[in-house]
Structure 1
Amino acid sequence: MAKGFLHITDTEALTALVDRLKKAEYVTVDTEFLRDNTYWPKLCLVQVAGPDVAAIIDPLAPLIDLQPLLDLMADPNVLKVFHAARQDIEIFLKISGRIPEPLFDTQVAAMVCGYGDSVSYETLVSKIARASLDKSSRFTDWTRRPLTDRQLQYAIGDVTHLRKVYDNLAGELERSDRTEWLDEEMAILMDPATYIVEPRQAFQRIKTRTTNRRFLAILREVAAWRETEARARDLPRGRLLKDDALLELAAHPPHSIDEMKQSRGVPKGFADGKLGPSLLEAVRLGLECPDEDLPEAEKPVETPRGVGPLVELLKVMLKLQCERHGVAQKLVANTADLERIAGDDEADVPALSGWRRQVFGEAALALKTGKLALAAEGRRIKLIRLDE
């Protein structure tokens, strides 16, 4: 052990570490990775800590097999604690085919406990652990070896302070009886669909305002082509073709390689290369897609005329109720949700069901129906019941 933590570079040491950690109630976990030049994130480090041990595991070491660590991640008897877990989970899902479980995300837990929207790890360490983090190695190249002492100290801090953060937040959730609130959010993180992009759904991530279904059919096919090729070559999507190029192909679909060369977004020489014909085939599939198979355009929610002021009142109500209950607004509702609530008492939005309805939904509907009012009292806003 060096400077308070283990540096694991071989399978034997990793196995011994896991034997200790699997006896713990929970382990804190973080990863360092690079994704600048690849489709899949390249795992460079894994940091873990239990109550009495902390370690940095080097997955790039030549004599290491990560299987003992992956077994620990799948152990149902050990809670895995992350902060802002999505990218870490994506990595473990890719290398093991499984999502770590059971799972606790301190960023989400902090939102449930009223620390604000998408609160940073640095903020929680400062407020809860009363410590500061040296972030000078945040943008380091984690693939280079050997790692410096500063890099290692930076990396281990992402799991050692997390122990105290977790203990505090878990206690707050228990005392406020909000554990089930967190469970709803963890279910989303533990759903593989959260991380796996089906190629034919990739077009939905590209921003476009069109409602032209033929345009969307072409975009669906060329985006699926890009997703498939990027995965196969382990390249960033934009390294093959940028979104603007796909949008141009959908708006002005080429019928030949020569026409594709005229598309401004297609790099010079691309159409004549190995990928040109298969991209042209994707365009053809979109052009020839039967009408009944055309994707439906996402219709914008039309806010009824005259409800703008009501939406503004609902925003005030949301802020007031979230401050009163100590929960982040982002977890309860967004502006689009408020617009739908303004136009429909039975809008299909999270804010009108479960614990969110208790925190905000019931009050929002009471405000709409004139049973509740907002009033200023000095610098404060208060609620006034009008049906009593």
Structure 2
Amino acid sequence: MFEYLTEQSQLGELYTQMAHTDTYALDTEFIKTNTLWPYLGLLQINVNEKIYLLDGQSLDLTDLWLLVFNARQNIFHACGEDLDLIHHYANQKPLDNIFDTQVGLSFLGFGLQLGYQQALQQILGIHVDKGETRSDWLARPLRPEQLQYAANDVIHLSALAKQIQSDLNQRGLLDAAIEDCVNYAREVATDTELSQIYLDVATFRHNRRQLVQLQQLCVWREQIARATNQPRSFILKNSTLLDLVDQQPTSMFQFGKIKDMKPNVIREHGKTILDLIRFLPDESLWPMRIHRAYRQKDTDLIDQINAFTAQISVETQVPVDVLLRKKWLSTLFSHIAKNGNEADLPNHLLGWRYEVLTRPILELLHQQKEIIAVEMAPID
């Protein structure tokens, strides 16, 4: 059923097989509980329906990453965490020559997050056991049940992708789905600039002083997390960051009032945290206030957009939730409020969606530009 490779000398046969095809189906098993970066336990790969399980603890996979990056297509299901791991171990990104069966299924009306087990059941009528989901993939030796579970994740993946791609092609949606896969892969590979990480925490309610404090705290937390390979929340949770800029502590004694401030963090970094809150750059360098979310009391505009999107869904056979995500619509409102550049919109909105969906919605929003700008203006 599969070959479990633990010795470097065993990789030659696999690489020979990979050299004779240009499409692979892959999955990974890893542990990422107490670290920022994942630790690879197993890499599973289906090459021409031959299954290999590669021991991530004992093998140097440098040559394999080269083959994967140069493939015509790599098949995954729900690839986000797999891509993060591959980028880390290969020290290269983006891996965007992919087809994600979960994305393909979303175009066929199965929702945005259909699991692999359910996908196999509904598309191919195949049942696979998922009993080892919470296994320790770094423990050795791996049990036979763990190995079989891991193999199951790629045994049928190529057949699943083939059926999904066939169904998409019949509907004329294959190119659009592949484009979305590529855009998603590039999104996963895009690192937020250090100076912009605070935007994942800050809200429109924060004044500029609080924003620059959050900016400094977030940059520092990210640097510590990377240097020590700790999850960000092990240093300061987002809720702790928010409480720090709300409470404005001026002494380490006052840390006792801050949510989830860990004693070891106070002991090791308390003075630094106080300095980051107290010592700020020139006010001209502080971030600008954040625009509010669109909250128009009269929902006519939203109703018009929803009705238009539903119409396009019927015409294109693309489900509404695939056509336009809520976060993309929020981005379009923000784009209008800030007089943004269309080139800065998410790639998902600039590809096949642009002419059929994005441009018409932007034209509709431009008609309400002044109202939107007022509704979303930062609080004074």
**Coarse TM-score class (shorter-chain normalised):** 0.7 to 0.9
Paired residues of 1:49 and 1:159 also in contact (CA < 8 A): yes
Tell me, yes or no, if the aligned pair for 1:199 and 1:225 is still in contact at 8 Å: no
1:89 alignment partner in structure 2: 83
Secondary structure at the counterpart of residue 55 of structure 1:
strand
Please list the CA deviations of residues 72-113 of structure 1 after superposition, one character each: whole Å capped at 9, or x if unmatched: 2222x4421111111111111111122335222111122233
Partner amino acid, structure 1, of 2:39? K
Residue 5 (structure 1) aligns with = 2
User: Contact conserved, 1:128 with 1:164, CA < 8 A, in 2?
Assistant: no
Q: Quote how far apart the aligned CAs of 1:31 are.
A: 0.4
1:206 to 198, 201, 212: 201
Equivalent pairs counted in the alignment come to: 356
Q: CA deviation at 1:23?
A: 1.3
Task: Give 1:329's match in structure 2, choosing from 301, 320, 335.
Answer: 320
Whether contact under 8 Å (2:202, 2:214) holds in the other structure is no
Match among 152, 155, 160 for residue 157 of structure 1? 152
Given residue 49 of structure 2, which amino acid in structure 1 is its aligned partner?
A: D
Write 1 or 2 for the structure with the bigger share of helix: 2
Structure 2 stretches lacking a partner, 5+ long: 366-380
- Report whether the alignment pairs 1:20 with 2:11: no
In 2, Cα distance between equivalents of 1:133 and 1:320: 38
Deviates more, 1:148-157 or 1:349-358: 349-358
2:278 matched to which residue of 1? 284
Match in the other structure for 1:44 = 41
Q: TM-score, normalised on structure 2?
A: 0.82
Distance verdict in 2 for CA 1:323–1:37, change over 3 Å:
farther
Deviations 1:238-276 (A, max 9, x none): 1112222111111222334344455344223532x2222
RMSD: 3.2
CA positional deviation for 1:157: 1.2
CA distance in structure 1 between the partners assigned to 2:40 and 2:185 by the alignment: 20
1:303-322 equivalent positions in 2, closer than 5 A: 303-306=295-298, 308-312=299-303, 314-315=305-306, 318-319=309-310, 321-322=312-313
Instruction: Render the CA deviation track for 1:186-213: whole Å, top value 9, x for unaligned.
Output: 3333437745344332222225342411
Q: 1:69 aligns with which of 51, 64, 70?
A: 64
273-282 vs 319-328, greater mean Cα deviation: 319-328
- 2-structure distance, mates of 1:264, 1:363: 46
> 5+ unaligned residues in a row in structure 1: which ranges?
369-388
The DSSP-based 3-state class of the residue aligned with 1:132 is: coil
Change (3 A) 1:70 1:27: same
Residue 197 of structure 2 contacts residue 218 of structure 2 at CA under 8 Å; is this kept in 1? yes
Percent identity for Structure 1 against Structure 2: 25
Partner of 1:298: 290
Quick one: distance in 1 between partners of 2:156 and 2:251? 59
Q: Over alpha carbons, which structure has the higher Rg?
A: 1
Secondary structure, aligned partner of 2:4: strand
* TM-score calculated relative to the size of structure 1: 0.80
Corresponding residue to 1:147 among 142, 151, 154:
142
CA-CA distance at 1:131 after TM superposition: 0.3
Letter in 2 for 1:91: L
Question: Partner of 2:262: helix, strand, or coil?
Answer: coil
Question: CA separation in 1, counterparts of 2:190 and 2:34?
Answer: 19
Matched, 1:224 2:219: yes
Residues 1:33 and 2:34 are matched in the alignment: no
Distance 2:229 2:349 in 1: 42
DSSP-derived class of the 1:93 partner: helix
* Paired residue secondary structure (1:238): helix
User: Does the 8 A contact of 1:33 with 1:41 survive in 2?
Assistant: yes
- Say whether the 8 Å CA contact 2:109–2:319 is kept in structure 1: yes
Q: Is the 8 A contact 1:314 1:338 kept in 2?
A: no
Task: Give the CA deviation at 1:364.
Answer: 7.3
SS in 1 for 2:42: strand
The equivalent position to 1:53 in structure 2, one of 35, 50, 54, is: 50
Question: Partners of 2:277 and 2:269 in 1: how far apart?
Answer: 13
> 2: CA distance between counterparts of 1:251 and 1:120?
40
